[in-house]
Amino acid sequence: MSAKHTPGEWELRHERHLGKTTHVVKIGTASVYFNRGIGQTEEEAVANGKLIASAPELIAALEALLEQADLGEVDEETKPIIDQARAAIRKATGNL
Protein backbone atom coordinates (compact mmCIF):
# COMPACT_ATOMS: atom_id res chain seq x y z
CA MET A 1 0.00 0.00 0.00
CA SER A 2 2.71 2.51 0.90
CA ALA A 3 5.31 4.05 -1.37
CA LYS A 4 8.76 2.57 -1.14
CA HIS A 5 10.98 3.98 1.55
CA THR A 6 14.29 2.86 2.94
CA PRO A 7 13.57 -0.38 4.79
CA GLY A 8 14.90 -1.31 8.15
CA GLU A 9 14.90 0.36 11.48
CA TRP A 10 15.15 4.14 11.47
CA GLU A 11 17.05 5.33 14.53
CA LEU A 12 17.37 8.62 16.36
CA ARG A 13 20.85 9.37 17.68
CA HIS A 14 22.30 12.35 19.51
CA GLU A 15 25.86 13.27 18.59
CA ARG A 16 28.18 15.98 19.89
CA HIS A 17 29.80 18.26 17.30
CA LEU A 18 31.82 21.30 18.30
CA GLY A 19 30.33 21.25 21.79
CA LYS A 20 26.72 21.17 20.56
CA THR A 21 24.28 18.31 20.40
CA THR A 22 23.20 17.38 16.90
CA HIS A 23 20.25 15.06 16.40
CA VAL A 24 20.63 12.46 13.67
CA VAL A 25 18.02 10.15 12.24
CA LYS A 26 19.77 7.18 10.62
CA ILE A 27 17.77 5.92 7.66
CA GLY A 28 19.54 2.94 6.19
CA THR A 29 22.91 4.24 5.04
CA ALA A 30 21.67 7.84 4.94
CA SER A 31 21.53 10.32 7.79
CA VAL A 32 19.30 13.31 8.42
CA TYR A 33 20.96 15.88 10.69
CA PHE A 34 19.02 18.56 12.50
CA ASN A 35 19.39 20.87 15.47
CA ARG A 36 17.10 22.90 17.60
CA GLY A 37 15.72 25.73 15.48
CA ILE A 38 14.84 29.31 16.32
CA GLY A 39 11.79 29.27 18.56
CA GLN A 40 12.12 25.53 19.12
CA THR A 41 13.17 23.94 22.37
CA GLU A 42 15.62 21.06 22.66
CA GLU A 43 12.72 18.92 23.87
CA GLU A 44 10.77 19.71 20.68
CA ALA A 45 13.79 18.88 18.51
CA VAL A 46 14.14 15.48 20.19
CA ALA A 47 10.38 14.83 19.89
CA ASN A 48 10.52 15.67 16.17
CA GLY A 49 13.42 13.26 15.72
CA LYS A 50 11.50 10.49 17.48
CA LEU A 51 8.53 11.12 15.20
CA ILE A 52 10.71 10.96 12.07
CA ALA A 53 12.44 7.78 13.25
CA SER A 54 9.12 6.05 13.96
CA ALA A 55 7.54 6.90 10.58
CA PRO A 56 7.86 3.42 8.99
CA GLU A 57 6.28 1.74 12.01
CA LEU A 58 3.49 4.31 12.16
CA ILE A 59 2.60 3.82 8.50
CA ALA A 60 2.69 0.03 8.86
CA ALA A 61 0.39 0.19 11.89
CA LEU A 62 -2.09 2.47 10.11
CA GLU A 63 -2.08 0.25 7.03
CA ALA A 64 -2.76 -2.83 9.17
CA LEU A 65 -5.57 -1.00 10.95
CA LEU A 66 -7.14 0.01 7.63
CA GLU A 67 -6.88 -3.53 6.27
CA GLN A 68 -8.82 -4.77 9.31
CA ALA A 69 -11.36 -1.96 8.95
CA ASP A 70 -11.88 -2.88 5.29
CA LEU A 71 -12.71 -6.46 6.32
CA GLY A 72 -15.57 -5.48 8.61
CA GLU A 73 -18.25 -2.92 9.14
CA VAL A 74 -17.15 0.42 10.53
CA ASP A 75 -19.56 2.33 12.73
CA GLU A 76 -20.31 6.01 12.21
CA GLU A 77 -18.06 7.11 15.09
CA THR A 78 -15.08 5.26 13.63
CA LYS A 79 -15.43 6.49 10.02
CA PRO A 80 -13.80 9.89 10.70
CA ILE A 81 -10.85 8.13 12.34
CA ILE A 82 -10.48 5.81 9.33
CA ASP A 83 -10.58 8.85 7.04
CA GLN A 84 -7.92 10.53 9.18
CA ALA A 85 -5.69 7.43 8.93
CA ARG A 86 -6.09 7.34 5.13
CA ALA A 87 -5.24 11.05 4.90
CA ALA A 88 -2.11 10.57 7.02
CA ILE A 89 -0.90 7.74 4.78
CA ARG A 90 -1.64 9.81 1.65
CA LYS A 91 0.36 12.70 3.08
CA ALA A 92 3.31 10.45 3.92
CA THR A 93 3.33 8.32 0.77
CA GLY A 94 1.21 9.96 -1.88
CA ASN A 95 -0.71 6.67 -2.10
CA LEU A 96 -4.00 5.14 -1.03
Residue 4 belongs to some domain of the structure: no
81 inside domain: yes
Predicted local distance difference test score (pLDDT) of residue 17: 81
What domain range includes position 24?
Answer: 10-93
- Whether 1 is covered by a domain: the verdict is no
The total number of structural domains that make up the chain: 1
Higher-pLDDT residue of 5, 86: 86
Compute the distance between CA of residue 23 and CA of residue 50 in angstroms, rounded to an integer: 10
Distances, alpha carbon 26 to alpha carbons 6, 66, 71, 92, in Å: 10, 28, 35, 18
- Residue 30 counted as domain residue: yes
Three-state DSSP class for 58? helix
Is 3 among the domain residues?
Answer: no
In 3D space, the residue among 35, 30, 29 whose CA is nearest the CA of residue 15 turns out to be: 35
Give 49: exposed, middle or buried? Use CB within 10 Å, 0-12, 13-18, 19+: buried
* Per-residue pLDDT at 64 exceeds 80: yes
pLDDT in tens, 1-57: 445 788 878 999 999 888 888 899 999 889 998 877 778 888 998 998 999 999 999
Alpha helix (H) ranges present in 1-96? 42-53, 55-71, 79-93
Q: Is residue 16 part of a domain?
A: yes
